[in-house]
Structure 1
Amino acid sequence: MKIDHSVKQLPGVAPVGEGQARPANGPASASRTSEADSVELSPLSARLQRLAQGIAGAEGMDTAKVAALKAAIAEGRLRIDPEAIADKLIEEARELLARSRG
């Protein structure tokens, strides 16, 4: 297999040697910063950041409850109430619709 060395030069990057590159001197240089430099997050990015912080602060799962459910399933003792599940799904769907409508 032949290696093709005809790579186009990227703007703001000057070739140094084989496998190495350094920032070119110019406006895109990383060494030049200003107090006026700023970053603005999109509304979606800001929302994702808030969600990530909320998840990080959330409590973990109840391992004792998980273990009890596993044991009940394994022993055939777990009773499923389809009406209760359906009622809860409908309740949550109504809450979501109410929130989305404002």
Structure 2
Amino acid sequence: MKIEGTYKGVGNAGDVKARGPRESAAKPGAEAGSKVEVSPLASQLQQLQGTLTSVPEVDATKVGELKQAISEGRFRVNPEKVADGLLESVRQMLTAQPRQA
């Protein structure tokens, strides 16, 4: 069985043909100008998404205050609070992880 010579390469500029405008992607029976209604929940989600895009990911004021406190030596680390936070994170990860048999 001979396989060589049957493959036609892709990406050859000479093989590209101009095409006309694509046909409508609408499903058969769909009318032009069909009306689409969005549920109230979907509308609310869109509004919330718009609100969230305007909220910065980092609170620059808080970061500035922490930098100032660190540079002035006023920032104190509470080791118990850090340990409690780490333990809580591990608990959450363990409960979210599926059990292995």
Work out which structure has the larger RCO, using CA pairs closer than 8 Å and 6 or more positions apart in sequence: 1
Q: Tell which structure's C-alpha radius of gyration is larger.
A: 2
TM-score (norm 2): 0.48
> Which structure is higher in strand share?
1
